[in-house]
Amino acid sequence: MAQTGTTDVRRAALCGSAIAGLLVLAAVLVPVLTGWDVRERADDIAGLPPLHGFREVKVGPGTPLAVLVGLAVVLRGHRVAGWLGWRRLLAVSWMASSAWLLGLALVDGPAGLSRVLGNRHEYLGTARAVGSVPALLASYIDHIPYDSPGHWPTHVAGHPPGMLLLFVLLVRLGLGGDLMAGIVVAFLAASLPAAVLVTVRALGNEDLARQAAPYLVVTPAGVFLAVSADAVIATVVAWGLAALALASRTTLRQGWGWAVVAGVLLGYAVQMSYGMPLAGLPALAVLVAARRWWPLPVAAAVALGMALGFAALGFAWWEALPVLRQRYWDGIAAQRPASYWLWGNLAALLLSGGVLIGASVGAAWAARRDERVATSLVGGALVAVLVADATLMSKAEVERIWLPFVPWLTVGLALLPASWRRGALALQVVAALGVQHLLYTTW
């Protein structure tokens, strides 16, 4: 990778970080100093906007592992990423990310992996009660409204059935216990760095991938990736984009299979989250970076076929969304002031992915003439976040809801000057350890 540590990149990265830091400070302090009630629920007495949680200082059994992994990546991450063979780099990134996620989660002990997925608002309780999958799909929309008999719990109602079906599969494989399901989610989410590395290399910039690897491994988003079902959505999207990038580096005759895989994964992601049509923006960014468009109609046709297949089984995404919107605005959305959350959401994203996301965006913008891959991927994710924010369908809780976009927003950190690397990694590690050890995030 050409060295992009110019004065412009430094200045843009510093400016982006400063803006991000000020945004976070404002989101935390304004409600406190003004008495503005921006709580996510009327009964949320101890909340700490913009995050969904409250203050709780703690040290737990996962603390030594998280600190050890963080130190190792800060001190040796870029050196190891530079000399490892490619396949070994992918394997090591997965293993290191697994250790990072597990270490962070286990700060709360085994409950750190089990309490979220075992929550009554989550998927596992419903998944264990599912008998017939066809019957589930045929009646899914009927159970979304609050006033329907046996209405779905919050997270089941708030998502298409694709996410629930994955937990049904875990239950039927004997992996449906709270703790075991948490372990499965953590190990799946730990593959995110590898997916991003595959994507960047397929787009022709292996050096950029290697420089990005340490930042992807010790992301502050690990606090939420280890325990949130949204991490599974992020993982499906990431590998879908990786498949799209692999398709785009060759011809239709040679790469159509990868385009089909991309369509299956991205199409299924849409059946997991009503917000994931926005993954189409990072997908377009991949094709812009590749300068090859033939995978688009193939992947889009397969994704459309996925939607039509679900509709044939009884769940039509386009019929469910208006019903979900009504439930959302009848419930928690009405208690969350848009005048705060339109920008508070962005602060929550920065607390999730790290304030250095601002530096990543700034560096990618400054280097746009030289680093098409980083600029395209960061830009696609940023536009997706801004569109999601403008819809008002994600007021609060975006520290987990926007996890699918965080890895791509992180890629621009690879453009930071070499002299900044350890400091930037240290800031990311400290941010993650701080959130996990000082707050109870409820995720």
Bridge pairing between strands 439-440 and 54-55: antiparallel
Is position 395 within any domain?
Answer: yes
Which is it for the CA torsion 5, 6, 12, 17, positive or negative? positive
Is position 59 within any domain?
Answer: yes
Is position 70 within any domain?
Answer: yes
Q: Are 356 and 427 in contact (CB under 8 A)?
A: yes
Q: Which of 2-6, 305-309, 388-392 has the lowest mean pLDDT?
A: 2-6
SS3 category, 94: helix
pLDDT averaged over every residue in the chain: 94
Nearest Cα to Cα of residue 5 among 426, 428, 419: 419
Contacts of 155 (CB under 8 A, 6+ apart): 121, 122, 123, 163, 229
Is position 1 within any domain?
Answer: no
- Flag whether pLDDT at 43 surpasses 60: no
Is position 210 within any domain?
Answer: yes
Q: How many other CB atoms sit within 10 Å of the CB of residue 318?
A: 8
pLDDT, mean of residues 344-373: 95
Is position 2 within any domain?
Answer: no
pLDDT at residue 44, as a whole number = 53
SS3 category, 286: helix
- To the question of pTM greater than 0.75 for the whole model, the response is yes
Which is it for the CA torsion 88, 261, 214, 62, positive or negative? negative
What domain range is 101 assigned to?
Answer: 7-440
54: which strand partners? 440
Q: Are 186 and 102 in contact (CB under 8 A)?
A: yes
Is position 168 within any domain?
Answer: yes
Provide the domain count of the chain: 1
- Flag whether pLDDT at 50 surpasses 70: yes
pLDDT at residue 422, as a whole number = 97
